Amino acid sequence: MTDKTEEAERHRAKMAKRKAVQDAEVASKIVEKGLLIVNTGPGKGKSTAALGLILRALGHGWRVGVVQFIKGAWSTGERQALAVFGDRIAWHAMGEGFTWETQDKARDIAAAERAFAKARELMADETIGLVVLDELNIALRYDYLPLAEVVETLAGRRPGLHVVVTGRNAKPELIAAADLVTEMTLVKHHFAQGVKAQAGIEF
């Protein structure tokens, strides 16, 4: 037996053992439920990851709801692209910009309250399988919404509903209630080199 044949056989045996372990691990997972997913952290990609889930859900024929808490109703590539799905996606941009833009906390609180009311409405719609609450973490960070009430609402969602919450600085109480939490870590960002936000990348 040549060295290459022996190496190939060792590799095959190693992968067969690994497959058996992986198959057993997968077979042991039997719970199916709606997930509360949190995308947080200082790195870029939190909303983008949620958009990937939206696309996946649409690919499986689901209806999807989106509420944007801080971002205003400006034109974005994702919103234009997803418009082709018609009423299979309910998109609600209900923010008025970041707090340093409005400079009016009462107005920001009112906008967040309207957005969360819409979120409740979408979560109650049994034709919707996925709801994305984009930048809800920012609204919670600035105390625009009562944290305990929001966490209770999300934790008490109907069993099959998946909810994704995005934004930096997720509150510990929300992280504790979540099923899946991903923290985007900032390693390097082009903004620091003077590169402006660009269509197709940031919006």
Q: For position 102, what pLDDT does the model report?
A: 61
Chain-wide mean pLDDT for the chain?
91
Cβ-based burial of 50 (10 A; exposed 0-12, middle 13-18, buried ≥19) = buried
17 and 107 share a domain? no
Distances (CA, A) of 123 to 1, 39, 79, 158, 189: 63, 19, 20, 8, 34
Pull the structure tokens for residue 135: 């930048």
Enter the pTM of the model.
0.87
8 and 102 share a domain? no
User: Minimal CA–CA distance to 159: which of 32, 53, 58?
Assistant: 32
Query: Domain with 95 in it: what CATH number?
Result: 3.40.50.300
46 and 126 share a domain? yes
Q: For residue 123, tell me if it sits in a domain.
A: yes
Amino acid identity, position 56: R
Q: For position 76, what pLDDT does the model report?
A: 83
121 and 87 share a domain? yes
Q: For position 101, what pLDDT does the model report?
A: 61
Reported as a single tens digit per residue, the pLDDT across 12-54 is 889 888 888 898 888 887 789 999 999 999 999 999 999 999 9
**φ and ψ of 188, to 5 deg:** -160, 140
Show the domain range for 4.
1-30
**φ and ψ of 128, to 5 deg:** -100, 130
